[in-house]
Amino acid sequence: MSGIFVSWTFLPVKPPVSIWIAVVLLVTVSFADDVRSLPVWPRLAIYTALGTWVSAVTLAAAHGWIVALAAALGITWMLNLYNFMDGSDGLAGGMTLIGFSCYGATAWISGNETFAIANFCIAAAAAAFLLFNFHPARIFMGDAGSIPLGFLAAALGMMGWMKGCWPAWFPLLVFSPFIVDASVTLIKRGLRGEKIWRAHREHYYQRLVRSGLGHRNTALIGYVLMSATAISAFWTTRQHTTVQFGMVITWIGIYLIMMRLCDRRLGHGTDGS
């Protein structure tokens, strides 16, 4: 996060003040949680308030409160799910490197070089971190890293859409390896009546680690999937709307097949499976 802040300082056009303030507050609260284990609900309230504030100041005037509210929910969920997915060596670091590199490349070809560089700064910081976080990890991201990065994935994805760099579906596809795993797991736990805010080991990546693949191979498989979604999203943004729709539907089908295969081979995710 320090690398991101320092590099952003030297950009000719810096990200909005609201993004800076939100990230600083998220790092502060999340670091306090890493050290002191703060209660869940106050943290969630702060995350929700920041997501709502950033969405309101960014979207409400131009796109209305319904769009701003939807964006607030998306930002809040993204920053939380990034934290959920940071449970295996190199996984969140790799998603950050690949996801923000894709943001940067797509912004660059759309003609917004400054916004592209802002995203490349995040990817570069993630690359340096990943050198020490890949299995066997010597350092870990913690909430102070995962929470702000999840926020940036959603907030900069929203900004890129507003700037005309990419369509609204683009950030969802780029970060879909994290979004799908966390969202489907949460829905399954909720349908079983489990307390969804409690720690567990039912994410697909956690089940892959426990199946014998280990942290290293699970991360490598994740990188292949992350690269495939990022490259397909990058290519599809330059295509006709029909092709874009077809690509999104194709990836929905791919994820359904992958989850079905994982459920059959690894069980259905409960601790007793």
| The pTM of the whole model exceeds 0.85 | yes
Asked if residue 5 has pLDDT above 80, the reply is yes
pLDDT tens track for 76-87: 999 999 999 999
Asked if residue 273 has pLDDT above 50, the reply is no
Please give the Cα distance from 209 to 230 (Å, whole number): 23
Closest CA to 192 of 272, 82, 78, 86: 272
Asked if residue 272 has pLDDT above 50, the reply is no
The 3-class SS string of 51-87 reads HHHHHHHHHHHHHCHHHHHHHHHHHHHHHHHHHHHCC
Cis peptide before 136 (omega within 30 of 0): yes
Residue extents of the structural domains in the chain? 2-266
Q: Residue 195: pLDDT band by 50, 70, 90 thresholds?
A: confident
pLDDT tens track for 142-159: 999 999 999 999 999 999
Closest CA to 98 of 231, 237, 254: 231
Please give the Cα distance from 87 to 140 (Å, whole number): 9
Spatial CB neighbours of 66, under 8 Å, sequence gap ≥ 6? none
Tokens of 94: 């790799």
Is residue 218 within 8 A of residue 209, CB to CB? The reply is: yes
* Residue 200: per-residue pLDDT: 77
Q: Distance of CA 170 to CAs 108, 236, 245, 246, Å? A: 15, 9, 11, 13
Most confident of 9-23, 60-74, 112-126: 112-126
Tokens of 127: 């690359």
Would you call 261 exposed, middle or buried from its count of C-beta atoms within 10 A (0-12, 13-18, 19+)?
A: exposed
| b/e per residue 212-238 (b: at least 16 CB within 10 A) | ebebeebbeebbebbeebbebbbebbe
